[in-house]
Amino acid sequence: MLKKALLVGINTYPGAPLRGCLNDVDQMHQLLTSQFGFSAENVRMLRDAEATTQGIVQGLTWLAEGDSDPAAVRVFHYSGHGTLTPDQNGDEPDGSDECIVPYDYPAAGFMTDDTLATLYDRFPRTSNLTLVMDCCHSGTIQRLDDPQNPGEDIVYRFLPVSYQDYIAMDQARAKYEAERKQYLERSLERFRNLSPEEQEHEKSLLALRFDRKRGRFGDVTNRESNILLAAARSDQTAADARIAGGYHGAFTWYLVNALSSTGGTPTYAQVVAALAEPLYTAGYTQVPQLESQPANRDRPIFAPFST
């Protein structure tokens, strides 16, 4: 049975360094190889300068290669900054594309969710692809007291957008809303003879069709075999903090701790429930997210869909 993982961790960003991302990938490597049966040669790590745009593209290409059997399992873990950039193709209701931030982003730019969607299209559609994303797309780079270690600081894993990009995203959002309104008005002409209640029902269906509901990080959950574990809601920050004497992503730390302490192979839903309460109790405001097709929520984590 094929089990592969790509683990990306970036601490070194100009002007906005992080401190826990390399520890995150080390933790995930230890967890996958010691507890979930991944062989060391099938776990590839990209750390700091290795995690360029080209490096990540090549890593995801490598991850997609190999067995397409439903029993195969693939994991992509990213710890680093997230950010937003103005939507370029009119497919985002909020006018922005979510991005991950590679090591060489000042020269190569960000990796948008549209870019990631293209890369995910290379993966077999019948086997488990799990994304673990310890970054966020909201907030600012700020320093606050660590709830567990007063006097220590927390850095949030979000790279702020420029004012020019903020304006561009606002314009893209307004353009999307105007096009959506025109589409609904044109389409509803067909239903003029229906009752007001029936017209409202048709309007709701048309709005859903126009919005083409998207998953985060490149439409990952629109593919039936894909599962996303995200550090926070899209409007929340994800903490990079001092925990247990070292720096870690709070999400990755509590995820690994939950999996190490539960024993056996809990389901995705059980894992998210098990780490959400300790995060909250420790004083972190982020709420971890599980996004997938409904049937996948109760599948064992990092396990094949069939044998």
Are 22 and 103 in the same domain? yes
Give 1 or 168, the one with higher predicted confidence: 1
Task: Name the domain boundary from 210, 229, 246.
Answer: 210
User: Residues 271-286: what's their mean pLDDT?
Assistant: 90
Mean pLDDT taken over the chain: 81
- Decide if 305 is inside a domain: no
Question: Does residue 196 sit within a domain?
Answer: yes
Buried b (16+ CB within 10 A) or exposed e, 122-144: ebbeebbbbbbbbbbbbbebeee
Residues 133 and 38 in one domain: yes
Structure tokens at 35: 């507890």
Q: Of 126-130, 140-144, 178-182, give the lowest mean pLDDT range.
A: 140-144
Residue 154's domain spans which residues? 3-164+214-298
Rg (CA), the chain: 20
pTM for the predicted model, two decimal places: 0.77
When mean pLDDT is compared across 21-35, 148-162, 261-275, the lowest value belongs to 148-162
User: Residues 60, 177: one domain?
Assistant: no
Contact between 142 and 66 under an 8 Å Cβ cutoff? The reply is no
pLDDT value for 134: 95
Overall number of domains in the chain: 2
User: Do 202 and 293 fall within a single domain?
Assistant: no
Residue 95 lies in a domain: yes
Domain co-membership, 223 together with 184: no
Q: Rounded CA gap, 21 and 47, in Å? A: 9
SS3 letters across 206-253: HHHHHHCCCCHHHHHHHCCCEEEEECCCCCCCCEEEEECCEEEEHHHH
Is the pLDDT higher at 147 or at 208?
208
Same domain, 277 and 239: yes
Residue 95 gets the label, from left (phi > 0), alpha (psi -120 to 50) or beta, of left
The owner of tokens 């992080």 is: 18
Quote the CA–CA distance of 22 and 259 in Å, as a whole number: 19
